[in-house]
Amino acid sequence: MTTPLLQLRGITKRYPGVIANEDVSLSLAPGVIHAVLGENGAGKSTLMKIIYGLVRPDGGELIYRGQPLMAHHPRQAREHGIAMVFQHFNLFETLTVSQNVWLGMDGALTLPTVRTRIAEVANTYGLDMDPDRPVHTLGVGEKQRVEIIRALLTQPQLLILDEPTSVLTPQAVEKLFVVLRQLADQGCSILYISHKLHEIQALCQGCTVMRSGRVVAECDPTQASAESLSRLMMGSEPATLPLPSRPPGEPMLQVEHLSLPGEAPFGVTLHGIQLTVRRGEIVGIAGVSGNGQRELMAALSGEDTRPAAEMIRVEDQGIGHWGPEQRRHLGLHSVPEERLGRGAVPDHSLALNQLLTRKIGVTARGWLQPTVLHASAQALIERYRIKANGPQATAKSLSGGNLQKYIVGREIDAQPRVLLISQPTWGVDVGAAAMIRTSLLRLRDAGCAILIVSDELEELLELSDRLHVMAQGRLSPALTRAQATLERVGTWMSGLWAEDNAC
């Protein structure tokens, strides 16, 4: 039998009030792509961080290439050929792509060499990226590409991928899978975390299922159905989505001739955007990350106040020059694509993070009411089944999926009349994704006008009543649910809708 590249034996990690990993064992052979599957908060990311040296376990042992590897740190892990792509990006926003990659390589190469290598890897694997672009100008999908390129440049023997496709388009996912299979053929072992069951079935040869910090099953995903994997992961069937709603009502959000030059040096210019979202309707926007979605949502949410008043209207009110707080008074709320730092303050409690977008637990004189804030946050935790150590838990202590449930739940509970939401189920497990989608559909059926930007095409096709595609700062004509096929939308992502004779 082949000697395992990696063995975990009885790994345990405890935090105050939480057991993240309990007696976890796993074996990984060379050249194998192995999935680690589980709900948000099941302990997957903690386990990966232990392997990478970011977290030290309280018990158990880690054997790598036949030798103990327990008291190590990330630099040592990289020296051993271990690379990791994180779900939450570890990038310096003020530095360029090449500078970020260079820092992650511990000075093994010069910066000019890294710039050249980035361009080569990006071209070889179809991960388009400008090495000189500042990271703060990138969307989440582009930041994901930077993390993947950085990992590939290290020529790893063990590659850990934590939700690597959560904000990639189907075309980019297919290219990434080709890369991963090539790496495996060359002897690289891959630990693959994903909530997309069809990806695990298509890519992985083995699967470890975790629940509440423990291993509950081992299986061959190629021989399992999506339903059986879901049951192993959740212990139950995911919720089914509600039936389609009644016809939409009057326009709630209207965008007319919105053109804006790119504000940052690498920003995307918006060209003549025309968009309408009606009461009781979900409108989706698809597209490859970095084609103007971020700039459009900034203009609609009030983060960018350069548009003329009449370019953006909520009902009959021109709001193009209003800021976010003024727009919230009209009932327009938004969920940003970046959870930590934009959707939530990392070091603040869940109770206090409610104050970012909701005037709750504040007296007329501006005094905070901790009891009210605590009770409201606890209600959110219970309603959306958020795994957190109570309302005083900090935002950064939650897993990515649980923080997403909190932010989406916070905005839904504000009872918006118009909701803008970017990447609604980024990094969220099957059960939580179904819960978020169900909540959005119910909000739509209650009369809310919802605009969704997502790199998850299947999600958009499932939720949207109408769908647009964004390419190079331009917005396509609307497609109905029946017109929006995967093939058609994929073609339109290249900006080719004018050539579609059926349009």
What distances in angstroms separate CA 250 from CA 253, 329, 420, 496, one per listed residue?
9, 20, 17, 30
Predicted pLDDT of residue 364: 83
User: Rounded distance, CA 43 to CA 60, Å?
Assistant: 15
In the chain, domain spans: 6-234, 251-340+417-499
> What is the per-residue pLDDT across 102-128, written as a single tens digit (0 to 9) for each?
987 767 789 999 999 998 888 777 777
Decide: residue 402, CB within 10 A, 0-12 exposed, 13-18 middle, 19+ buried. Answer: buried
> What is the per-residue pLDDT across 147-159, written as a single tens digit (0 to 9) for each?
888 888 888 999 9
Predicted pLDDT of residue 426: 79
Joined tokens for residue 38:
């589980």
Predicted pLDDT of residue 239: 57
Name the amino acid, one letter, at 287. Answer: G
User: Rounded distance, CA 138 to CA 290, Å?
Assistant: 7
User: Rounded distance, CA 310 to CA 452, Å?
Assistant: 22
263: how many CB neighbours lie within 10 A of its CB?
A: 13
- Residue reference for tokens 């105050």: 16
Closest to 415 in 3D by CA, of 394, 436, 431, 439: 439
3-state per-residue secondary structure call for 33-74: EEEEEECCCCCHHHHHHHHHCCCCCCEEEEEECCEECCCCCH
What is the CATH topology of the domain spanning 6-234? Answer: Rossmann fold (3.40.50)
Q: Do residues 490 and 172 lie in contact, with contact meaning Cβ atoms separated by under 8 Å?
A: no
Domains 6-234 and 251-340+417-499 share a fold: yes
What distances in angstroms separate CA 44 from CA 70, 78, 195, 343, 395, one per listed residue?
18, 20, 11, 23, 18
Strands 281-286 and 6-15: unpaired
pTM of the model: 0.70
Predicted pLDDT of residue 167: 62
Predicted pLDDT of residue 501: 61
User: Rounded distance, CA 396 to CA 339, Å?
Assistant: 10
Tell me the β-bridge partners of 286. 469
What is the architecture, at CATH level 2, of domain 251-340+417-499? 3-Layer(aba) Sandwich (3.40)
Joined tokens for residue 200:
């695990």
Q: Do residues 453 and 337 lie in contact, with contact meaning Cβ atoms separated by under 8 Å?
A: yes
> What is the per-residue pLDDT across 345-387, written as a single tens digit (0 to 9) for each?
999 999 999 999 888 888 888 899 999 999 999 999 998 889 8
Closest to 421 in 3D by CA, of 399, 400, 443: 443
Residues of the chain with pLDDT under 70: 1, 71, 106, 166-169, 171, 235-245, 264, 501-503
> What is the per-residue pLDDT across 377-386, written as a single tens digit (0 to 9) for each?
999 999 888 9
